[in-house]
């Protein structure tokens, strides 16, 4: 299948410091691709650079075969690339409903937004019940759901998720995983950054392993999980946590 | 000493209303841009001068003066951001750089007012005070004396509060202002054109300062320090209310207004000059910064 989003030969970082060296990743519609790797390997920097939240020194971003390298973040979002940061991913001083309104900021027409909100509440009934609650009063799992729901309001074609499962206890984590599966089934491409290598590869179809800002391995998630050298290098590390 | 406490309360409401109008815009700007924008005081002065020119020199109505002053100073606010602070921020200026730039801009604006008056004598702008001549009938309600200007100041503050509340909670741009203020990156990630939100807020904020300037100028006098004289209470209100928190600012404005008017009674009782009243806002500012730097924001989470 033709990829919907391609990041090619990306060199990215902050200020003058290059953290990610010459990495290419891609994701297709209806597929989850995972970028995994140890702490500080540049995973987050890589997806941030796709949207301009980190500096892209070199490389190009193709969306639907169109070069969108360097366009302003909010315009990339409007084109259909949703992004959920790892932390500070909701507006704490806004209610759940208002957070969702912000997600649909560039949608025209009250009815369109209402319909979109209805769909989102259908997917996240947990949020519908607390529509008027301030986001800062939500639990970790609810907060993460709201963060994803906010991004979904813009009806993205691609969703970039920065460690959506980090710091969640098993139950909310499993809930988010099932929501991601639901989202994928609607045909959205999901590119996920995750520290939990095993979980991310079980969730995804394709995996990229980043070490020290460079691509160490890539392949079908299932075959990576079955690969002995991969297991030794990355799953061994995982168990020490 | 006989104190008419009812009068003190009424005076406090009037003072608080004026401070609210003068601080509402600043708290929104401060919340968005995260640096103390001292040049804001000069928008108050500019508003007073433009209002004076429109209503007194040109002879247009006072309501016309409010509208024109709001629009012109709003445009000046936009230009200040677009021309100075946006490029500075883009070049990586820190809070300190932006703050110092704002002090400098404030000085320049304040001293440009009489310079403009020299170049264009028709403006009648100078260091010597001018006065609005509108006749504000004073009337008595029981033992309390009220002037028409005071009544309008309070009505304007109430109207502004309602209008801003509706804007911030119901309108798209209002919600975007709150969202951008709390998390600019997430606002960008929501497709909000953050730059545009900042432009609108700066224009609106400057325009509101202009309105406060006319009320202040009509109550006292119009001279280049009309805004600077109010900088302490205005910043006290913004800090006490919790930076960027409009609801906190409403409460804080009336707290500062009340404190000042009780302070005037106390100063009189102590036989001191009432011109020390400005110190009261300063004390509130210092205490807020020491005891609770986040101000009343704790009370108004939905900022």
- Residue by residue, what is the 3-state secondary structure of B159-173? HHHHHHHHHHHHCHH
Q: Which of B178, B10, B253, B12 is nearest to A99 (CA)?
A: B178
Mean pLDDT of A141-157: 94
**Closest residue, chain B, to A78 (C-alpha):** B191
CATH number, span B5-123+145-298: 1.10.3470
Contact B185 A53 (CB under 8 A): yes
pLDDT per residue as tens digits for the range B99-138? 999 999 999 999 999 999 999 999 999 999 999 988 788 8
**Domain range summary for chain A, segments of one domain joined by +:** 3-84+156-240
Write out residues in chain B with pLDDT < 50, as ranges: none
Provide, as residue numbers in chain B, all residues whose Cβ is less than 8 Å from the Cβ of A73. Answer: 188-189
Q: Does A88 touch chain B (CB under 8 A)?
A: yes
Distance CA B72, CA B207 (A): 8
Q: Which of A28, A6, A62, A10 is nearest to A205 (CA)?
A: A28
Which 8-state DSSP code applies to residue A124? -
ipTM for the predicted complex: 0.89
Query: Is pLDDT above 50 for A240?
Result: no
Mean pLDDT of A216-231: 88
Report the gap between the CA of A228 and the closest CA in chain B (Å): 39
B166-180 CB burial, b ≥16 within 10 A, e <16: ebbeeeeebbbbbbb
Q: How confident is the model at residue A163 (pLDDT cuts 50, 70, 90)?
A: very high
Q: Smallest Cβ distance to A77: which of B175, B190, B303?
A: B190
pTM, two decimals, is 0.91
Q: Does A14 touch chain B (CB under 8 A)?
A: no
Residue-level pLDDT at A236: 64
pLDDT per residue as tens digits for the range A58-106? 999 999 999 999 999 989 999 999 999 999 999 999 999 999 999 999 8
Provide, as residue numbers in chain A, all residues whose Cβ is less than 8 Å from the Cβ of B189. Answer: 51, 53, 73-74, 77, 82-85, 151
**Domain range summary for chain B, segments of one domain joined by +:** 5-123+145-298
Cβ pair B265, B204 in contact under 8 A: no
Q: How confident is the model at residue A239 (pLDDT cuts 50, 70, 90)?
A: very low
pLDDT per residue as tens digits for the range A22-31? 999 999 999 9
Q: Does A92 touch chain B (CB under 8 A)?
A: yes
And the tokens for A22?
A: 């010459």
Cβ pair B47, B214 in contact under 8 A: yes
A positions 46-85 inside 8 Å of B (CB): 51, 53, 72-74, 77-78, 82-85
Q: Smallest Cβ distance to A74: which of B172, B175, B188?
A: B188
Contact B175 A92 (CB under 8 A): no
Contact B192 A102 (CB under 8 A): yes
- CATH class, domain A3-84+156-240, is alpha beta
Distance CA A188, CA A182 (A): 10
Distance CA A147, CA A102 (A): 11
- Pairing mode, strands A189-194 and A206-211: unpaired
Report the gap between the CA of A55 and the closest CA in chain B (Å): 14
pLDDT per residue as tens digits for the range B23-56? 999 999 999 999 999 999 999 999 999 999 999 9
Q: Smallest Cβ distance to A73: which of B172, B183, B189?
A: B189
Q: Is A72 helix (H, G, I), strand (E, B) or coil?
A: coil
Q: How many CB pairs under 8 A join A and B?
A: 76
**Closest residue, chain A, to B303 (C-alpha):** A93
Contact A88 B188 (CB under 8 A): no
Distance CA B230, CA B45 (A): 10
Distance CA B49, CA B120 (A): 13
Query: Is pLDDT above 60 for A241?
Result: no
Q: How confident is the model at residue A233 (pLDDT cuts 50, 70, 90)?
A: confident
- Pairing mode, strands A81-84 and A3-14: unpaired
Q: Is A174 helix (H, G, I), strand (E, B) or coil?
A: helix
Contact B183 A88 (CB under 8 A): yes
Q: Give, in order, the Cα–Cα distances in Å from B73 to each of A190, B5, B112.
A: 47, 37, 14
Task: Give A164: exposed, middle or buried? Use CB within 10 Å, 0-12, 13-18, 19+.
Answer: buried
B55-69 CB burial, b ≥16 within 10 A, e <16: bbeeeeeeeebbbbb
Mean pLDDT (chain A) is 91
pLDDT per residue as tens digits for the range A165-187? 988 899 999 999 999 999 999 99
Place of tokens 């005070």: B129
């Amino acid at each position: 299948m033709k990829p919907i989003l391609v990041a090619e030969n990306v060199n990215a970082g902050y200020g003058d410091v290059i953290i990610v060296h010459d990495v290419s990743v891609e994701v297709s519609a209806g597929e989850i691709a995972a970028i995994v790797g140890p702490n500080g390997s540049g995973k987050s920097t890589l997806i941030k650079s796709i949207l301009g939240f980190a500096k892209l020194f070199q490389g190009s971003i193709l969306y639907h075969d169109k070069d969108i390298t360097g366009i302003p973040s909010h315009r990339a979002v409007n084109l259909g690339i949703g992004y959920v940061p790892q932390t500070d991913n909701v507006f704490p001083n806004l209610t759940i409903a208002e957070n969702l309104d912000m997600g649909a900021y560039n949608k025209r027409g009250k009815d369109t937004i209402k319909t979109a909100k209805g769909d989102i509440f259908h997917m996240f009934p947990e949020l519908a019940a607390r529509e008027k609650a301030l986001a800062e009063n939500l639990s970790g799992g609810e907060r993460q759901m709201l963060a994803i729901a906010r991004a979904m309001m813009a009806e993205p074609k691609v969703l970039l998720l920065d460690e959506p499962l980090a710091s969640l206890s098993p139950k909310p984590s499993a809930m988010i995983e099932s929501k991601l599966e639901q989202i994928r089934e609607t045909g959205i491409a999901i590119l996920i950054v995750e520290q939990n290598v095993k979980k991310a590869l079980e969730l995804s179809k394709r995996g990229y392993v980043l070490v020290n800002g460079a691509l160490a391995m890539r392949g079908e998630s299932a075959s990576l999980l079955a690969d002995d050298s991969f297991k030794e290098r990355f799953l061994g590390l995982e168990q020490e946590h | 000493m006989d104190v008419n406490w009812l009068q003190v309360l009424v005076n406090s409401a009037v003072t608080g209303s004026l401070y609210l109008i003068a601080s509402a815009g600043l708290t929104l700007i401060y919340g968005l841009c995260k640096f103390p924008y001292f040049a804001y005081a000069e928008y108050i002065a500019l508003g007073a001068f433009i209002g004076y020119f429109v209503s007194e020199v040109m002879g247009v109505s006072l309501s016309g003066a409010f509208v024109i002053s709001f629009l012109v100073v709003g445009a000046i606010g936009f230009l200040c951001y677009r021309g100075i602070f946006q490029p500075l921020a883009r070049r990586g200026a820190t809070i300190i750089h932006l703050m110092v730039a704002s002090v400098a801009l404030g000085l320049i604006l304040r001293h440009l007012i009489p310079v403009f008056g020299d170049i264009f004598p028709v403006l009648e702008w100078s260091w010597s005070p001018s006065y609005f001549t509108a006749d504000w009938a004073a009337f008595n309600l029981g033992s309390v004396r009220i002037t028409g200007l005071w009544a309008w100041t309070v009505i304007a503050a109430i109207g502004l509060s309602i209008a801003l509340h509706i804007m911030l909670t119901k309108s798209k741009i209002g919600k975007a202002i709150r969202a951008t203020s709390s998390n600019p990156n997430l606002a960008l990630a929501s497709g909000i054109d953050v730059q545009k939100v900042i432009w609108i807020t700066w224009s609106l904020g400057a325009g509101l300062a202009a309105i406060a300037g006319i009320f202040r100028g009509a109550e006292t006098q119009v001279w280049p320090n009309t805004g600077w004289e109010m900088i302490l209470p205005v910043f006290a209100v913004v800090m006490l209310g919790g930076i960027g928190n409009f609801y906190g600012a409403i409460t804080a404005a009336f707290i500062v207004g009340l404190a000042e008017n009780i302070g005037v009674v106390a100063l009189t009782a102590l036989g001191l000059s009432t011109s020390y009243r400005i110190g009261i806002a300063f004390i509130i500012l210092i205490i807020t910064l020491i005891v609770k730097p986040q101000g009343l924001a704790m009370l108004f989470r939905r900022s």
